[in-house]
Amino acid sequence: MALMSSFDGIIEEIPGIAVDNFEHRHLDSRAFFLSHYHMDHVQGLDTTELADSLKKTKAFIYTSEITAIIINHVMKGSKILKYVKPLGRETTLITLPGKPNKQLKRLFVEVTLIPAGHSFGSTMFLFKTTEKTVLYTGDFRIRINDISKYGKLHKNNEPINIDAMYVDTTFLREKYEDFAKRSDTADTVIDEIEKWLKKDKNNGVSIYMYANYTFEFILNKIYQRLKMKVYINDYKWEFYRNILHLVPSVTNDPNETKLHLCSNKYESENHYKCFTRFHAKRSYLHIHLTAQKWSDYKIDQSPISRKSEKCFDACFSTHCSRNEILHFVAYFNPSKIIGFPNEYVQPDDNSDEEFVLTPKKSSKRKRRNDDI
Q: Which residues of this protein are in contact with Zn ion, per CB under 5 A?
A: 38, 139, 206, 262, 271, 274
Closer residue to Zn ion, CB minimum distance, 274 or 326: 274
Closer residue to Zn ion, CB minimum distance, 86 or 341: 341
Cβ pair 49, 98 in contact under 8 A: no
Nearest approach, Cβ of residue 284 and Zn ion (Å): 7
CA–CA distance, 18 with 32 (Å, rounded to integer): 5
Closer residue to Zn ion, CB minimum distance, 42 or 59: 42
Beta strands of 116-272 (E only): which ranges?
123-128, 133-136, 154-155, 158-159, 164-168, 203-209, 230-231, 250-251, 259-262
Nearest approach, Cβ of residue 311 and Zn ion (Å): 12
Question: Residue 341: is the preceding peptide bond cis (ω within 30°)?
Answer: yes
Measure Cα distances from 161 to 153, 266, 336 in Å: 9, 47, 12
Closer residue to Zn ion, CB minimum distance, 139 or 313: 139
Nearest approach, Cβ of residue 37 and Zn ion (Å): 8
CA–CA distance, 348 with 345 (Å, rounded to integer): 9
- Rounded to 10 degrees, what is the CA torsion of 216, 217, 222, 225? 140
**R_g (Cα) of the chain, nearest Å:** 22
Closer residue to Zn ion, CB minimum distance, 190 or 209: 209
Nearest approach, Cβ of residue 55 and Zn ion (Å): 28
Closer residue to Zn ion, CB minimum distance, 23 or 352: 23
CA–CA distance, 113 with 126 (Å, rounded to integer): 6
What is the DSSP secondary-structure string of 93-142? EEEEPPBGGGTB--EEEEEEEEE-SSSTT-EEEEEE-SS-EEEE--S---
Nearest approach, Cβ of residue 238 and Zn ion (Å): 19
Count of beta carbons in the 10 Å neighbourhood of residue 265: 12
Nearest approach, Cβ of residue 38 and Zn ion (Å): 3
Supply the DSSP symbol for 277: T
Nearest approach, Cβ of residue 139 and Zn ion (Å): 4
Closer residue to Zn ion, CB minimum distance, 182 or 271: 271
Closer residue to Zn ion, CB minimum distance, 139 or 178: 139
Cβ pair 44, 23 in contact under 8 A: yes
Closer residue to Zn ion, CB minimum distance, 206 or 333: 206
Residue 248, classified by CB atoms within 10 Å of its CB into exposed (0-12), middle (13-18) or buried (19+), is middle
Cβ pair 158, 364 in contact under 8 A: yes
Nearest approach, Cβ of residue 372 and Zn ion (Å): 39
Nearest approach, Cβ of residue 264 and Zn ion (Å): 5
